[in-house]
Structure 1
Amino acid sequence: MKHDEMIGKVQALARLRDRGSAERTTHAVLSTLSERLPSGLALHVAAQLPPDLATVVRQAVDGTADPGVGASGERFGLTVFAGRIADRAGTDEDTALRDAAAVLEVLDAALAPELTERMAGALPADIRELLPVERAIGND
């Protein structure tokens, strides 16, 4: 899936007012997700994304995306996940969770099915609930 298509789908699913908001939200979710996933898995995700979105993931993996926040493989739950996304996207935590679900749905469609299954398996149950229903149910 191409960058513009992904951002357009995020904008539509999350009902964001403009493409800039969709871009900011997508980057916030990808960065935070990449901090939570094991580095090897996050890099596999990056390999299947458009170049500019892959860069967001790679920066999160090596810890250069957000000084003071750990690199990938960090263990945290839904509260920290929502807080980091909200801070990065400039929104509240409820909106961050709604928007994260939209980004994860688009990501699910963009990645190879086996990779999304591995990603779902690496997430704790509370974050996994944001995934499209078939992924969340398949990994309980």
Structure 2
Amino acid sequence: MKYDEFLARVRQRGEYTSRDEAAKITEAVLGVLAERISPGEVEDLASQLPGPLGPALTSAKRQQPENFGIEEFYRRVAERTGARPRTAEWDAGAVLTTVAEAVSGGELNQIISQLPSSFAVLFGKADAD
């Protein structure tokens, strides 16, 4: 998937008014995701994402992943976007469902396996089987 197509899908899913808004939301969600998964997984995911998304993801990675749940994930996304946590839930779903389409099934499974099962729905999965 090319970068423009990725942002177009995020924009459509999130019902954003502009490509710039979709890009800002995407970078915020990916930045929080990078804090939550292992550095090696951040690198693997970054290698499969189009355009500037990979470097944006790797610049947010930590030495060690932080351990937080889905509510904290939403809070952090909301903090970065200036939105409410409920809006951040919508934003995270728009971005991460698009990530699920853009990466290989194996990569997606590796990401989801590092997260609590409650995160699976954000990637368009019913559960983390």
1:60/1:72 contact within 8 Å kept? no
Aligned match of 1:33: 33
Letter in 2 for 1:95: T
Q: 1:127 aligns with which of 92, 99, 119?
A: 119
Q: CA deviation at 1:129?
A: 2.8
CA distance in 2, matches of 1:72, 1:18: 34
Aligned 1:21-60 pairs, distance under 5 A:
21-60=21-60
The answer to whether the Cα contact below 8 Å between 1:105 and 1:131 also exists between their aligned partners in 2 is yes
CA distance in 1, matches of 2:72, 2:59: 19
Runs of 4+ in 1 over 6 A off after TM superposition: none
Alignment partners' CA distance in 2, 1:72 and 1:94: 28
Residue 17 of structure 1 is matched in structure 2 by: 17
Amino acid at match of 1:112: S
| Residues in 2 aligned to 1:87 and 1:2: alpha-carbon distance in whole angstroms | 28
- Root mean square deviation of aligned Cα: 1.4
Give the structure 2 partner of residue 109 of structure 1.
Answer: 101
The answer to whether the Cα contact below 8 Å between 1:34 and 1:72 also exists between their aligned partners in 2 is: no
Q: Which amino acid aligns with 2:97?
A: E
Q: Which residue type is aligned with residue 31 of structure 2?
A: S
| Alpha-carbon distance in structure 2 between the residues aligned to 1:51 and 1:3 | 5
Q: Secondary structure at the match of 1:11?
A: helix
Percent identity over the alignment? 33
Structure 2, unmatched stretches of 5+, are none
- Is the 2:99–2:123 Cα contact (8 Å) retained in structure 1? no
After TM superposition, the score normalised by the length of structure 1 is: 0.86
Instruction: Please give the TM-score of this superposition, normalised by the length of structure 2.
Output: 0.93
Structure 1: stretches of 5+ with no match in the other structure: 63-70
